[in-house]
Structure 1
Amino acid sequence: QEERDHAMLFYQYLQNNSEPVVFASVDKPDWTRGDNMTPLIKGLEHEKYVTSLINTIYAAAYEARDFRTMQVLDWFVKEQGEEEKNASDLITKMELFGSDAKGLYMLNSELKSRVYAAPSLVL
């Protein structure tokens, strides 16, 4: 739901600015699951990739002096900082607890208790 909401923020912003939006299919990941760490590492790599895309758009907006777009992207820059930290923290926790059943149980309980709050960004 969180990722869908983020996509819809971009969609709504583009619609509000009369920009055409085309949806295309998303390719299946090109890696295999491997051990328990592989999805976490791939997740962090993906968050860094998304950050690089947002930074590229931000740089173009800065160059064009498109302050409205920069203002919207400020929220995403902050969000990506949180996403990268969460992914990195999860890797650290798995490195600490990965082979301990009690540690994994505690980590699972922690992750299950996370509550999603929809973004309140006003476009």
Structure 2
Amino acid sequence: MDERVYELLNDQINKELYSAYLYMSFADYYEDEGLKGFANWYMIQTAEERDHALIFRKYLLDNGCSVKLKAIDQPDKTFSTYLEPLEAALEHEKYVTSLINDIYAAAHDARDYRTMKFLDWFIEEQMEEEANAEDMITKMKLFGTDAKALYDLDKEYQARVYSVPTPLAGE
């Protein structure tokens, strides 16, 4: 495997684990605020991000590459409104999309078609992640100031359940 592609893939494991930490901090914020549905949403996001790290790890191992785990940074965001974590999530998902795009570009430059094919799932996943984040922002802006509507929205997010990502489903 091309060294640059390898480094980016290995770094992405750390980035995904950081994402899990970040989303767990969002869940903690909403839990403290009494919005257990929002907390549930972000705990599921936490699990998904952890799973993404495992998918990258498995890909490296399956391709004969060693995995080098690095320290995970502590999230440093604080919030004063229910909207702020949602906006931070969209900003973060756009950042993750840029990271995936960077890996794809490096794989393309190295003519590493296997890695490009592997990343196709993540490209689709990022489109979904950004759409979900935008939808949550829209709903919060529409309904977040009405207590009953916020209650209903929280109940909607409480109903979300975890599902194993397709690349790990066969494990």
- Superposed displacement of residue 119, structure 1: 1.3
Paired amino acid for 2:66: P
Paired amino acid for 1:96: L
2:79 to 27, 33, 45: 33
Secondary structure of the residue aligned to 2:80 is: coil
- Aligned match of 2:152: 106
Q: Deviations over 1:93-118 (max 9, x none)?
A: 00001111111111111111112221
1:52 to 94, 98, 104: 98
- Superposed displacement of residue 38, structure 1: 1.1
- Superposed displacement of residue 46, structure 1: 0.6
2:131 to 68, 85, 94: 85
Unpaired stretches in structure 1, ≥5 consecutive residues: none
CA distance, structure 2, for counterparts of residue 38 and residue 29 of structure 1: 14
- Superposed displacement of residue 79, structure 1: 0.2
**TM superposition outliers: structure 1 runs of 4+ over 6 Å:** none
- Aligned match of 1:12: 58
- Aligned match of 1:69: 115
The alignment's TM-score, normalised by the length of structure 2, stands at: 0.68
Secondary structure of the residue aligned to 2:91 is: helix
The alignment's TM-score, normalised by the length of structure 1, stands at: 0.93
Aligned residues: 123
CA distance, structure 2, for counterparts of residue 75 and residue 59 of structure 1: 15
CA distance, structure 1, for counterparts of residue 129 and residue 99 of structure 2: 14
- Aligned match of 1:43: 89
Paired amino acid for 1:91: I
- Superposed displacement of residue 61, structure 1: 0.7
